[in-house]
Structure 1
Amino acid sequence: MKKWFAVIGDPIEQSKSPEMHNSWYTQEGVDAAYIPIHVKAENLEQAVASFKLLGTSGFNVTIPHKSAIIPFLDEIDETAKQMGAVNTVLRLEDGRFKGFNTDGDGFVRSLEEKIGDGHRQKSVLIVGAGGGARGIAFALKKYGYQDITITNRTISKAGEIVDALGMGKVITNEEASSTLDRYGILIQTTPAGMKYGGISLPFSVDKMSQEAVAADIVYNPLMTPFLQHAESIGATVVTGVGMFVHQGAIAYEHWLGNYPDTNSMIAQISEQLGGK
């Protein structure tokens, strides 16, 4: 019987997940379909119940439902529990829904695909303290990164991540701006630079070192203002496309048991967004 998968969010029309997963199904010869479904917050519980009734094999969860969906699932794995957010749901053999979060692992795989795993001793600055920052911080710790600092407009939110992580430190945006050249890896996790987002970077990046690695989790546009500056001074740039593709590939593996071709997908989406 044909399997079907979905992604839910509000809004949802901007998502490239359907294109990505359907391309993988074609490449792998999988009899399946992946569809976008617009779900408003007040309909989330009903949507999850409907998916269970209609027999979906799994689905992805995007903004703004990643945390709100947790009470409506039967089980979540330890990573999702630590992060307080779910982006992937698997239908188990007994019909129950289990939630996972693949964002953090997807980011680290993307980062190390570009720079290798020999930079784990470098100092890391995470800009922002939302769900993306939290997931990345936990994944960095899991992979052995030991020197993690978080900066955010609201210091208390950054502090909550550090407390949950059991390591790291918090600095203000002003401190980050004046000490930016001390960090070897800079990770921008706020919506700044997102197409049509209208949000600016939270502080000046003029002191960024040309020796730094600059990564952004925003993938549309491909080159955010943060990455444009990094590129202009000769720093190493990691776009958000790799994280997007790898988090999707990990979800695919949960659902279908194997890891799809990420290299060609990263190239395909990067080209669509104006990359080389």
Structure 2
Amino acid sequence: MAIYTVFGNPIAHSLSPQIHQAFAQQSGVELNYTRSLTSQARFRRAVAEFFRHGGAGANVTVPFKQQAFELVTYVTARAQQAGAVNTLVPLGYGQLLGDNTDGIGLVRDLQRNLGQTLAHRDVVILGAGGAARGIIAPLLEQEPSSLIIANRTEEKAQILVEQFANSKLQACRFYELAIPTGAIVINATSASLAGEKLPVAPTELAHATCAYDMVYGAQPTVFMQQAQQAGVSVMNDGLGMLVEQAGAAFQMWHEGAELDTQKVIQEIRERLVG
């Protein structure tokens, strides 16, 4: 039986084993998907040992995505752009391919599951850290009208604008943010995990028609509550993104697998809420 794992710290509450087991059942695949708690000091060794003992594939979560990028032999174009890796594919002879499926997971959730159009649409990303960097290129591929990156400090957002060098990108501070009417606003910060509100004016947030928090939980996130209070009509957390990025990884390991991700999202949501 093929063995897969997810490396992280913390890792005890990772939903990856349940998600991949659900995909395996849909695909008629037998696998054992485990959780691997490690540290930044031991990460490289842990990955090497896992694949040396026959590991068939692995996912990587915080805080190891940048380290994974540094240790792989090859990277996909989207991982190169993100500067981070969340999926490891063994190529034999100790070589690894690194991919980043976070951005495509977000895009698929917005388009397939939430019915949101990205082409010719204004998109706002709140935050300029690693999570934001991982979703910029896949969002730009959908040809939005504009992509605004808002952050506490404009300098950090401007670095991303310069890195991706696309005329549709703009950078600003939170308090300067002017949200275009009808925009999709994506929270790529960890503020909701800390129970913190983002310093975005309710009058500006009210211009959005969709508010998306990359954080997820059993209850609506703090950012979703902010959006609701501002009058935004559509709000979602990042559970769908989690399932969709896992689905993209699963299909890398099992070429041709057809997955019903919406069914898995519903199953995981019921477990979280129940």
Cα displacement string for residues 196-232 of structure 1 (whole angstroms, at most 9, x for unaligned residues): x344424343432265111110012451122123335
Q: Which has the higher contact order (CA 8 A, sep 6+)?
A: 2
- TM norm structure 1: 0.91
Q: What is the aligned partner in structure 2 of residue 65 from structure 1?
A: 64
Question: Between Structure 1 and Structure 2, how many residues are aligned?
Answer: 270
Amino acid at match of 2:226: H
Which of 207, 225, 229 aligns to 2:226? It is 229
Distance apart, 1:105 and its partner CA: 0.5
SS in 2 for 1:14: coil
Gaps of 5+ in 2: none
**Larger displacement relative to structure 2 (197-206 or 155-164):** 197-206
Q: What is the aligned partner in structure 2 of residue 132 from structure 1?
A: 131
Give me the whole-angstrom Cα distance separating, in 2, the residues matched to 1:193 and 1:199. Answer: 6
Q: What is the aligned partner in structure 2 of residue 255 from structure 1?
A: 253
Q: What is the aligned partner in structure 2 of residue 239 from structure 1?
A: 237
SS in 1 for 2:3: strand
Aligned CA-pair RMSD: 1.9
Give me the whole-angstrom Cα distance separating, in 1, the residues matched to 2:212 and 2:116. Answer: 15
Gaps of 5+ in 1: none
**Larger displacement relative to structure 2 (2-11 or 152-161):** 152-161
Which of 206, 210, 226 aligns to 1:209? It is 206
The answer to whether residue 217 in structure 2 is matched with residue 220 in structure 1 is yes
Amino acid at match of 1:250: A
SS in 2 for 1:157: helix
Q: How does 1:38-187 map to 2 (within 5 A)?
A: 38-93=37-92, 95-116=94-115, 118-167=117-166, 168-176=169-177, 179-180=178-179, 182=181, 184-187=183-186
Query: Structure 1 residues 164, 222: CA separation in 2 closer, same or farther (over 3 Å shift)?
Result: farther
Give me the whole-angstrom Cα distance separating, in 2, the residues matched to 1:51 and 1:126. Answer: 36
Amino acid at match of 1:59: A
Contact 2:78 2:100 in 1 (8 A): yes
Cα displacement string for residues 64-123 of structure 1 (whole angstroms, at most 9, x for unaligned residues): 000012222111111101110000011125552100000001001101124546442121
- TM norm structure 2: 0.91
Cα displacement string for residues 164-194 of structure 1 (whole angstroms, at most 9, x for unaligned residues): 2212110111112xx2364611010111112
SS in 2 for 1:69: helix
**Larger displacement relative to structure 2 (76-85 or 157-166):** 157-166
Distance apart, 1:28 and its partner CA: 2.4
SS in 1 for 2:89: strand
Give me the whole-angstrom Cα distance separating, in 1, the residues matched to 2:232 and 2:78. Answer: 35
SS in 1 for 2:88: strand
Give me the whole-angstrom Cα distance separating, in 2, the residues matched to 1:94 and 1:216. Answer: 40
Give me the whole-angstrom Cα distance separating, in 2, the residues matched to 1:266 and 1:222. Answer: 15
Quote the sequence identity (%).
33
